[in-house]
Amino acid sequence: MDIPSKKKQRHIKNTRKDKVFDIVNYGLAGLFLLIIIYPLWFIVIASFSDPSAVSGGRVWLWPQGFTLDGYRAVLEHERIWVGYRNTIWYTFTGTLIGLAVNIPAAYVLSRKDLVFRKFLTWMFLIVMFFSGGLIPTYLTIRDLGLLNHWLVLVLPFSVSIFHVVVARTFFQTSLPSDLWDAASIDGCGNLRFFFTIAVPLSKAIIAVIALWTAVHHWNSYFNALIYITDVNLQPLQLILRQILVGNELMMQQSTGEAAIIAIRRATIMRYSSIIVSTVPIMCFYPFIQKYFNQGVMIGAIKG
Amino acid sequence: MDQAKLRFKLMMIRRNWGLYLLILPAVILLILFAYRPMYGVIIAFKDYRHFTGITGSPWSEPWFKWFERFFNSFQFDTTVRNTLTLSFYSLLAGFPFPILLALGANQMRARRFKRTFLTISYLPHFISTVVMVGLILIWLSPSSGLIAMIYSSFGNQAPNLMGQANAFSSIYVWSEVWQRMGWNSIIYLAALAAVDPTLYEAATVDGASRFQKLIYIDIPMLMPTAAILLILSAGSIMNVGFEKAYLMQNTLNLSASEILSTYVYKIGLINAQHSYSTAINLFNTVINLALLVTVNTVTRKISENSLW
């Protein structure tokens, strides 16, 4: 008699505790979502609002004085579109080159029967720990005639040690070596094996690395800052830098009628240019998401 | 015996020629754009002149001239201190949040909510550095930003945080936490997904509450991953990224925001003092390398997990 009631009591106590736990957990999750979403939501509503309402602090939940002026200003800003076109091209070619360079290298380094495997692996690892640094790299690029050439943004720095290591781990753990043994006995060469068997079996890791590379190219500005001075070759991020970061300096330093007009124009574009430049790359992610669930990152941990 | 081994190796190379072809593009790119610049590091010990090139430029007199100059310059203390402040602060503040996030998300039973929650938490990761700094400037604008709204609702004038040197490191670090904690939790979520479910079942039979399971199962299971990540990031402590700090710099906060990488850029490319800049860069790289080797040795001793 005594024992079952005790058991029951304990069970009830636990569910009550678990309920409290759930409330706290979902409560914190809600708070966290608010902290992530509200600052972004603020940018969205500000981009549709009258700039004077934004600077007056009247925009906080919905757009005030609804207007598309910000987007119109972006549409009319020619350099944004030049940057946009360049960035799309750099992202596209950069991702292709990145995959073409890193995935085969990762596969080769995953092969246990590779002669010079240790040497080649070290050749990749050393780069992670030691580098020539900014100026020697700059001089190399200059000597090779790549300054102000679009290739400098997609080719020279396309080897990513991190991507190679992650993909190599994936090949090691999910591509059984028996597969190669069987194929080679049947007379399949290395190239054919890689392209017709290894690559199709590794779509998940290729998709993930493609996403990483594409996001990197879409968002980076450093190489363009260093190596590209031709305005027609500048990627979107450098132009955004002028709109978003450059104007702050202008605002602090300049006065006068012309400056006020220029600042007003820039203020209108601030919010809309953020939306226009960031939404496309954010839309990428949901397409790739399912591959993350296929345990790609677990492979990465083991590496 | 040795000859047989050699012949076997040669045979394997001949048989696997396709592999060497596959890795060739990456190797060529590394040689050209990673190893060739490594040779160029010698200009840290030379007086580099444009028309004589790397090889032709004369050696510095004495050979450590540029290093001596940096150690004695007033920027040495500032840049090293700022670099260390930013990296330790980032390390300490950035470390716990992804773990907490993963622990919380792992306990969510409503699957759709969990998925939405995670997807939203990843979103900021896709914001570029330029836009992120733009967002910081907008939010912290003393006249129209979020901070102005908060202060004015209490009837106060908002401070210009971007113009205060002592606020720089906090702005830098907490905006980084905001942007990356969701994304960085992925690896912990993966580690939690790999936990043997029988552990939970056994705990349930023993009458453990969910909070107890979190404390006694989840957290211990995350420890190995957490330790490796912590040690890995300790190895890059002097490697504070150029991109964000450079964009966040202005004349008012420079005393806190000038770090080694931005200083290297200014000395080397803006002032065109190639040798001096390379020496500062090399100093940074060597410290990093030493840290990484130390940390890796320690890890291998403690946990059998190491980079090499």
> What would the two tokens of residue A212 be?
């990483």
Q: pLDDT tens digits for A26-42?
A: 999 999 999 999 999 98
Q: Which residues of A touch B21 (CB under 8 A)?
A: 191
Does the N-terminal peptide bond of residue B62 adopt cis geometry, omega within 30 degrees of 0?
yes
% of chain A at pLDDT higher than 70: 86
- pLDDT confidence of A254, banded at 50, 70, 90? low
Q: Which residues of A touch B210 (CB under 8 A)?
A: 17-18, 21-22
- pLDDT confidence of A295, banded at 50, 70, 90? low
CA distance A78 to chain B (A): 19
> What would the two tokens of residue A154 be?
């997609």
What is the pLDDT, as a whole number, of residue A6? 44
Cα–Cα distance, B88 to A257 (Å, whole number): 45
Cα–Cα distance, B140 to A284 (Å, whole number): 29
What is the pLDDT, as a whole number, of residue A293? 59
Q: Which distant-in-sequence residues (6+ apart) come within 8 Å of A110 by Cβ?
A: A168, A169, A171, A172, A175
More confident residue, A259 or B256: B256
What is the pLDDT, as a whole number, of residue A2? 42
Residue with tokens 């979902």: A26
User: Among B208, B259, B217, B276, which Cα is nearest to B84's?
Assistant: B259
Q: Is residue A73 scored above 50 in pLDDT?
A: yes
- Cβ of A274 within 8 Å of Cβ of B19? The answer is no
Reduced 3-state DSSP string for A151-167: HHHCCCCCCCHHHHHHH
Q: State whether residue B152 sits within 8 Å of chain A by CB.
A: yes
What is the pLDDT, as a whole number, of residue B19? 93
Q: In this structure, which amino acid lies at residue B299? A: T
Window 262-291 of B, Cβ < 8 Å to A: 264-265, 268-269, 274, 277-278, 281-282, 284-285, 288-289
Query: Among the ranges A9-18, A31-40, B186-195, which has the highest mean pLDDT value?
Result: A31-40
Cα–Cα distance, A100 to A98 (Å, whole number): 6
Average pLDDT over residues A45-59: 82
User: Among A160, A158, A133, which Cα is nearest to A226's?
Assistant: A133
What is the pLDDT, as a whole number, of residue A1? 38
How many residues can be counted in chain B? 308
**Measured between alpha carbons, how far is residue A145 from residues A142, A227, B40, B215 in Å?**
5, 11, 16, 58
Q: Which residues of B touch A271 (CB under 8 A)?
A: 138
What is the pLDDT, as a whole number, of residue B306? 58
Residue B197: CB atoms within 10 Å: 7
Q: Which residues of B touch A243 (CB under 8 A)?
A: 134
- pLDDT confidence of B43, banded at 50, 70, 90? very high
> The domain at A69-302 falls in which architecture?
Orthogonal Bundle (1.10)
Q: Which residues of B133-151 are buried (b: 16+ CB within 10 A; e: fewer)?
A: bbbbbbbbbeebbbbbbeb
> What would the two tokens of residue A121 be?
């692996």
Q: In this structure, which amino acid lies at residue B180? A: R
Cα–Cα distance, B269 to B248 (Å, whole number): 19
Helix, strand or coil, per DSSP, at residue B46: strand
- Lowest-pLDDT range, A141-150, B48-57, B165-174? B48-57
Mean pLDDT for chain A? 84
Report yes or no: B57 and B42 within 8 Å, Cβ to Cβ. no
User: Among B112, B141, B224, B247, which Cα is nearest to A51's?
Assistant: B141
Cα–Cα distance, B32 to B111 (Å, whole number): 49
- pLDDT confidence of A224, banded at 50, 70, 90? very high
Residue with tokens 């001075």: A229
Q: pLDDT tens digits for A281-291?
A: 888 777 777 77
CA distance A175 to chain B (A): 16
Cα–Cα distance, B4 to A239 (Å, whole number): 62
Cα–Cα distance, B24 to B34 (Å, whole number): 15
Q: Is residue B5 scored above 90 in pLDDT?
A: no
Q: Is residue B225 scored above 50 in pLDDT?
A: yes
- Most B CBs within 10 A among A15, A135, A274, hence the mutation to make, goes to A135
Cα–Cα distance, A270 to A287 (Å, whole number): 28
Cα–Cα distance, A179 to A166 (Å, whole number): 20
> What would the two tokens of residue B204 be?
């349930």
Helices (H), chain B: 2-15, 17-30, 36-40, 53-56, 65-72, 74-94, 96-106, 111-122, 129-139, 146-153, 168-184, 186-193, 197-205, 210-213, 219-234, 242-248, 254-257, 260-265, 274-303
Q: Which residues of A touch B149 (CB under 8 A)?
A: 57, 60
Strand partners for A85: none
What is the pLDDT, as a whole number, of residue A7? 45
CA-based nearest residue in chain B for residue A296: B190
Q: Which residues of A touch B288 (CB under 8 A)?
A: 129
Q: pLDDT tens digits for A82-123?
A: 999 999 999 999 999 999 999 999 999 999 888 899 999 999
> What would the two tokens of residue A76 be?
């009319």
What is the pLDDT, as a whole number, of residue B60? 84
Helix, strand or coil, per DSSP, at residue A63: coil
Q: State whether residue B203 sits within 8 Å of chain A by CB.
A: no
User: Among B50, B44, B279, which Cα is nearest to A143's?
Assistant: B50
Q: Is the ipTM of this complex over 0.95?
A: no
Q: State whether residue B151 sits within 8 Å of chain A by CB.
A: no
> What would the two tokens of residue A190 be?
């290395």
Cα–Cα distance, A140 to B274 (Å, whole number): 13
- Lowest-pLDDT range, A137-146, A252-261, B34-43, B289-298? A252-261
Cα–Cα distance, B215 to B205 (Å, whole number): 17
> What would the two tokens of residue B228 be?
């490796």
Provide Rg for chain A, Cα atoms.
27
Q: Which residues of B touch A264 (CB under 8 A)?
A: none
Cα–Cα distance, A170 to A164 (Å, whole number): 10
- Cβ of B190 within 8 Å of Cβ of A132? The answer is no
Q: pLDDT tens digits for B63-117?
A: 889 999 999 999 999 999 999 899 889 888 988 999 999 999 988 888 888 888 9
User: Among B175, B135, B158, which Cα is nearest to A243's?
Assistant: B135
Mean pLDDT for chain B? 87
Across the interface, of B123, B133, B278, the residue whose CB is closest to A135 is B278
Q: Is residue A15 scored above 90 in pLDDT?
A: no
The predicted model scores a pTM of 0.87
Strand partners for B59: B46
User: Among B204, B225, B227, B230, which Cα is nearest to B216's?
Assistant: B204
CA-based nearest residue in chain A for residue B177: A36
- Cβ of B124 within 8 Å of Cβ of A40? The answer is yes
Average pLDDT over residues A145-156: 94
In what helix (H) or strand (E) does residue A79 lie, and over which residues does it extend?
helix A78-110
- Cβ of B278 within 8 Å of Cβ of A133? The answer is yes
Q: Which distant-in-sequence residues (6+ apart) come within 8 Å of A32 by Cβ?
A: B101, B121
Domains along chain B? 73-127+164-303 (1.10.3720.10)
Cα–Cα distance, A170 to A110 (Å, whole number): 9
